[in-house]
Amino acid sequence: MKSELAELDQKRPMPDDEAPDAVPVPHALVPHLNETAILLDIDGTLLELMPTPREVWVPPGLSETLNRLTERTSGALAMVSGRSLNDIDLIFAPDVFRAVAGHGAEMRLTVGNEADDVHAPPMDKELKRRLAAIAKLSPGILLEDKGYSLALHYRLAPHAEKAIYEAVSLIRADLPNAPIEVLPGKFVCEIKHSGFTKATGVRELMKHEPFKGRRPIFIGDDVTDETVFAIMPEMNGLSFSVGRRAMGVNGHFDTPNDVRAFLARLLDDTRLE
């Protein structure tokens, strides 16, 4: 195993223009599943992006793959998402997975618990009211209230992108001391409390069993996943982007379907035993 791990360490994060063209075959990537933690973004990574957040769906076979990987890693599989825990559970129902949710605002360490920790307080009501009013700029802008954050989805109104960000900037300029952060994503502008990210959530997750002491593998697709890409080296972990060759990753997938196929191959590779 040491020789395989040394081989992987030579594939450490590199500049974007030098990022590898493909992901290594399973046995080279994961010498032993019982020493690995699998961390997965959802939208655009495990599941295809849809016109609205409510339209995403779980393809046949994925639930079985995720449950088998959870068993093979002794539970060290978690979703790392900007979605709330409630949303994640609705998507994967009746399955329930460990998760870092809400960009690190929520966490579930034990299957069966609604949440083990909540890091973020609810967003100020007046601030939320002002931000929510931005959705009136154009038909097709969808408002998603997560309590600790607010997301403006404009996949159905791409022409409104500039106006949305200008409106958010005006509100921030009017409230310079408000503890908020703007997260640009794929056809979404999310405003959340500052001080927590997917990376802070993953750091906390990796302190607890069954993740503690394992080598994490994180797969994500969006700008909000870059904070996790950045901390993987300090955990001796590996990261992979989807749909683009992101800076600082060890490889990339073209589509969520490629991610699902890769996860299935992990289970079929007998050399991982």
Chain centre distance of CA 227: 10
Catalytic residue of the set 41, 43, 222, 225: 41
Chain centre distance of CA 199: 10
Residue 41 appears among annotated catalytic residues: yes
Is residue 214 within 8 A of residue 232, CB to CB? The reply is: no
Alpha-carbon span 79 to 218, nearest angstrom: 10
Is residue 238 within 8 A of residue 218, CB to CB? The reply is: yes
The amino acid at 79: M
Alpha-carbon span 220 to 75, nearest angstrom: 20
Tell me the H-state helices in 11-118. Answer: 26-29, 62-72, 85-92
DSSP tag of 264: H
Is residue 57 within 8 A of residue 84, CB to CB? The reply is: no
Catalytic amino acids? 41
